[in-house]
Amino acid sequence: MNWFRTALLMSALTALFMGIGYLLGGAAGAMIALLFAGGMNLFAYWNSDQMLLRMNNAQRVDQRSAPELYEMIQQLAENAGLPMPAVYIVHEDQPNAFATGRNPENAAVAVTSGLLNSLSYEELSGVVSHELAHIRNRDTLIMTITATIAGAISMLANFALFFGGNRNNPLGIFGTIALMVVAPLAAMLVQMAISRTREFGADRGGAEICGRPLWLASALGKLERASQRIANPAAEHNPATAHLYIVNPLHGGALAGLFRTHPSTEERIAALNAMAGAPARGPWG
């Protein structure tokens, strides 16, 4: 069901992108938009992982430089039936993590230094297992493509507002202007819906990989509390990457609940507690 919902949402994003192309240039504009989306996705497929790691100033580590972390990920990757991913550390105080890569054979797991300093070995195992589940489910590729299309929609909408669109379209000039304002917001909401769908799946998969749902539940509670107190400058400078982290790294203010990129942490912990057969607890464990 999650894959079906994700496919529908990605189709909606593509249709929205082509619709804006039509409003800009008619049928030819829609075809150009489709070809443009394909080109961007091809570029993202091959280059998104290294771009993301560079944006976060991630430093690659190996068995000599970070033996405990490396060996943990190696063991959990074996549990998940995955090749060993590249391992990176992001030097940020906020405890967080993300995975990237176009497929399991070209994947990377990145954790922040704050994560390593604030979690127990068991909780860290739960977080790493969550990221490995994203890799196994190929969520990293899906989320990169959705971010690329959503960004292109915003770019096209800005272009149309400044330079005008196809005045002969059925919506008329005022309808076109309204759509150009609404389209980026709609794209963002669809992107968030896809992200939320994939997070629940990764929580379930991560709990299965490490074998202890409560390890991940405990970690999520700590990460949520820390993310509200500690800023993540790298993510704040590149907010389009926020949906890739295990918890939202941004400080969104009063509208954070409406535009959050992740399911509520309380819901995620409740689902993990249910997997473990544990009784429900208060907010964030």
**pTM for the complete prediction?**
0.78
Burial string for 236-256 (b: 16+ CB within 10 Å, else e) reads eeeebbbbbbbbbbbeeeeee
**Domain range annotation of the chain:** 2-60+139-276
Phi-psi region of 138 (alpha: psi -120 to 50; beta: other; left: phi over 0): left
pLDDT at 256: 47
pLDDT at 82: 97
Q: Which residues does the annotation mark as catalytic?
A: 131
pLDDT at 11: 73
- Element (DSSP H or E) covering residue 29: helix 2-55
Q: Taking every pair of C-alpha atoms in the chain, what is the biggest distance, in angstroms?
A: 64
- Element (DSSP H or E) covering residue 89: strand 86-90
pLDDT at 24: 66
Q: Give 10-residue mean pLDDT values along the chain (285 residues).
A: 61 73 68 72 74 89 97 97 97 95 93 97 98 93 73 68 56 59 70 77 96 96 94 84 87 53 89 82 43
User: 281 and 221 in contact (C-beta within 8 Å)?
Assistant: no
Burial string for 177-205 (b: 16+ CB within 10 Å, else e) reads bebbeebbeebbebbbbbbbbbbebbbbb
Those residues with Cβ within 8 angstroms of residue 264's Cβ, 6 or more apart along the chain or in another chain: none
